[in-house]
């Protein structure tokens, strides 16, 4: 039995693991930067270790030393930078520590997009035309045969990184150098492959799977992930709109077939593209828990993190999990510290105020709190708003109200985009694809509005300083923390 787990991650996903661990009676260890010493995930943990290095979440040796010092019997990387690192998983196992994630061999396999693609082909799952390439000349020859435009991808890429579009022969040389350089720096290898570019009038669909150590593999329905910027997801929903029951069944069966062929265990996501004719293609498998896992939890009614702990302990699935069915519709909105008026440029700063929505079917997974610094050296995600309804229209209605109620002050966020999206006809009707975000052209707030915001923030800072001088700030901060963590979550089911 797992008794103490080190979280090799931060922010909302660390807090997400802590909440389930607390319910299971598991102690938690977190590592944090000095700027985040009062962050929600730090305050909630059993043991808190202030890091003395920059970005400890990308340092396997540093984390393993802490795990040894604090007698952790498990490490959970969440969706942090080490989540899909097979060498880190092996180092955990070699140290006698459970890795809360896939087994080493399957993690290594699915982490290499070229090998994953070959596995999909071997079990009869459709893939996009393309192949691995080892030189620019080979890439140019293959691209000429496939036909431009093409996508050049890093074999070990992920999260939207290591992908570039080449629209011509002349462009491919520059793109080749960019992707090779990024791949080597980010993933430690310059292995690349080329695929035919299907265009933007396609949909991105993924299937959540769970697989235990006894051979059980189940699919928990598909998620639509076609609202993206810079090839990174912004909104996800389940079930995916525009997918009929027959196509949904085929895609889920393909996901299970692939995971089983890979010998996969733990939670994972098999990803597909669907073209305008309705043909689907395997693109990759993410060997970790996804940012958007709450969408599936909402419609399936299970705790995916709890399942990951159980799988790591070699427990077979319970009948409840094996017989899981989905009900209703859920949507997740990623609220990020990005300026939608400057092409979603990541931003940092101090969160001077925040207000989270309440109500039936509303869930907030947050990594922020008032007076906390949002660091630019990490991912820009602040929190996730998840809404559930008995059907999509109800989920949309609840999302609209929740987005109106949600407030984050002190730094720019992408909230204006989400408020635009919820009433944008292609999205509200469910008739959208990857091209949707190209129609977003916001006008920046006028100077008077920005001035009023600056005055309001300055006034709040003044009042806060006055409160501190009167020794009342501490009780206020504790009250905010308590409210955040004692708020019940309801999906309205």
Whether pLDDT at 159 is above 90? no
> What are 1's two structure tokens?
């039995």
Per-residue pLDDT, averaged over 376-396, amounts to 96
**Residue 482 or 158, more confident:** 158
Torsion angle in degrees (nearest 10) through CA of 207, 211, 216, 218: -20
What is the rounded end-to-end Cα distance, in angstroms, of the chain?
A: 32
- How many Cα atoms sit within 13 Å of 183 on the Cβ side? 22
CATH architecture of 129-196: 2-Layer Sandwich (3.30)
User: Which amino acids are annotated catalytic?
Assistant: 288
CB-count burial class (<10 Å; 0-12, 13-18, 19+) for 371: middle
Strands of the sheet containing 130-133, edge to edge, are: 130-133, 192-196, 150-158, 161-166
Q: Give one word for 383, left, alpha or beta, with left for phi > 0 and alpha for psi -120 to 50.
A: beta
Q: Does 4-100 carry CATH code 3.40.50.20?
A: yes
Question: What's the pLDDT at 470?
Answer: 59
d(CA 222, CA 241): 10
Candidate from 165-179, 245-259, 296-310, 447-461 with smallest mean pLDDT: 447-461
Per-domain residue ranges of the chain: 4-100, 129-196, 203-439
- pLDDT mean over 341-351: 93
User: Could you tell me if 153 and 130 are in contact, meaning their C-beta atoms sit under 8 angstroms apart?
Assistant: no
Provide the phi-psi class of 96: left if phi over 0, else alpha when psi is between -120 and 50, else beta: left
Q: What is the mean pLDDT of residues 409-432?
A: 96
Q: Which helix (H) or strand (E) holds 166?
A: strand 161-166
Tens digit of each residue's pLDDT (9 = 90 or more) over 62-109: 999 999 999 999 999 999 889 999 999 999 999 999 999 999 999 999
Per-residue pLDDT at 243 exceeds 90: yes
Residue 454, Cβ neighbours under 10 Å: how many?
A: 10
The arithmetic mean of pLDDT across residues 351-362, rounded, is 96
Report in angstroms the alpha-carbon separations of 271 from 110, 125, 127, 344, 455.
Answer: 12, 12, 11, 25, 46
Encoding tokens for residue 267?
Answer: 């939670």
Distance CA 91, CA 135 (A): 33
Percentage of the chain with pLDDT > 90? 82
Query: For position 184, what pLDDT does the model report?
Result: 84
CA triple 296-440-221, angle to 5 deg: 15
In CATH terms, the fold of domain 203-439 is: D-amino Acid Aminotransferase; Chain A, domain 1 (3.30.470)
Per-residue pLDDT reduced to its tens digit, 457-477: 667 666 766 765 555 444 444
Q: Strand 27-32 vs strand 47-50: parallel, antiparallel, or unpaired?
A: parallel
| H or E segment to which residue 130 belongs | strand 130-133
pLDDT the model gives residue 156: 82
Q: Take residue 219 and report the two structure tokens written for it.
A: 């699919």
CA distance linking residue 201 with residue 274, whole number of Å: 9
Radius of gyration, alpha carbons of the chain: 23
Cis omega (within 30 of 0) on the bond before 161? no
pLDDT over 70 (residue 43): yes
pTM of the model as a whole = 0.89
For the cut 50, the answer to whether the pLDDT of residue 493 exceeds it is: no
Residue 492 pLDDT:
35
Q: Using one digit for the tens of pLDDT, what is the confidence trace for 105-135?
A: 999 999 999 999 999 999 999 999 999 999 9
DSSP-assigned letter for residue 239: S
Q: Answer whether residue 13 shows pLDDT above 90.
A: yes
What does the pLDDT read at residue 340?
A: 94
Q: Report yes or no: 331 and 397 within 8 Å, Cβ to Cβ.
A: no
Segments in 304-368 forming alpha helices (H): 304-312, 319-322
DSSP states of 292-314: THHHHHHHH---HHHHHHHHHTT
User: DSSP code of 127?
Assistant: B
Average confidence (pLDDT) over 429-456 = 82
What is the C-alpha separation between 69 and 67, in angstroms, rounded? 6
């Amino acid at each position: 039995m797992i008794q103490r787990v080190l979280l090799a991650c931060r922010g909302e996903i660390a807090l997400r693991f802590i909440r389930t661990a607390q319910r299971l009676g598991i102690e938690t260890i977190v590592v944090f930067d000095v700027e985040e010493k009062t962050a929600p995930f730090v305050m909630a943990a059993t043991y808190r270790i202030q890091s003395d290095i920059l970005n400890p979440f990308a340092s396997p040796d540093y984390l393993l030393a802490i795990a040894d010092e604090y007698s952790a019997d498990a490490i959970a990387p969440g969706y942090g930078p080490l989540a899909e690192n097979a060498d880190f998983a092996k180092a955990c196992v070699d140290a006698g520590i459970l890795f809360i994630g896939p087994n080493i061999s399957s993690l290594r396999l699915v982490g290499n997009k070229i090998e994953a693609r070959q596995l999909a082909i071997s079990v009869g799952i459709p893939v996009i035309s393309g192949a691995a390439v080892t030189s620019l000349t080979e890439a140019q020859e293959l691209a000429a045969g496939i036909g431009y435009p093409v996508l050049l991808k890093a074999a070990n890429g992920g999260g939207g990184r290591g992908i570039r579009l080449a629209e011509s022969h002349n462009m491919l040389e520059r793109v080749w150098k960019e992707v090779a350089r990024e791949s080597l720096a980010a993933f430690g290898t310059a292995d690349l492959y080329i695929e035919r570019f299907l265009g933007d009038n396609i949909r991105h669909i993924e299937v959540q799977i769970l697989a235990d150590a006894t051979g059980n593999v189940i699919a928990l329905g598909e998620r639509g992930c076609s609202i993206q910027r810079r090839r990174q997801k912004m909104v996800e929903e389940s079930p995916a709109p525009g997918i009929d029951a027959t196509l949904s069944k085929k895609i889920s069966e393909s996901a299970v077939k692939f995971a089983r062929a890979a010998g996969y265990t733990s939670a994972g996501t098999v990803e597909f593209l669907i073209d305008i004719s309705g043909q689907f293609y395997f693109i990759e498998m993410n060997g970790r828990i996804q940012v958007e896992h709450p969408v599936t939890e909402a419609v399936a009614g299970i705790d995916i993190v709890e399942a990951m702990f159980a799988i790591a302990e070699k427990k077979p699935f319970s009948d409840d999990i094996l017989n899981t069915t989905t009900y209703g519709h859920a949507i997740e909105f990623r609220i990020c510290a990005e300026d939608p008026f400057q092409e979603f440029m990541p931003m940092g700063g101090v969160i001077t105020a925040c207000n989270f929505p309440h109500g039936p079917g509303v869930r907030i997974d947050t990594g922020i709190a008032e007076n906390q610094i949002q660091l630019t050296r990490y991912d820009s995600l602040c929190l996730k708003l998840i809404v559930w309804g008995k059907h999509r229209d109800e989920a949309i209605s609840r999302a609209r109200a929740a987005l109106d109620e949600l407030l984050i002050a002190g730094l720019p966020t992408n909230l204006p985009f989400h408020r635009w999206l919820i009433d944008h006809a292609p999205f509200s009707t469910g008739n959208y694809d990857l091209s949707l975000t190209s129609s977003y052209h916001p006008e920046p707030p006028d100077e008077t509005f920005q001035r009023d915001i600056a005055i309001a923030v300055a006034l709040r800072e003044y009042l806060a300083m006055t409160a501190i001088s009167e020794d009342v700030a501490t009780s206020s901060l504790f009250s905010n923390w308590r409210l955040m963590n004692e708020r019940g979550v309801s999906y309205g089911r």
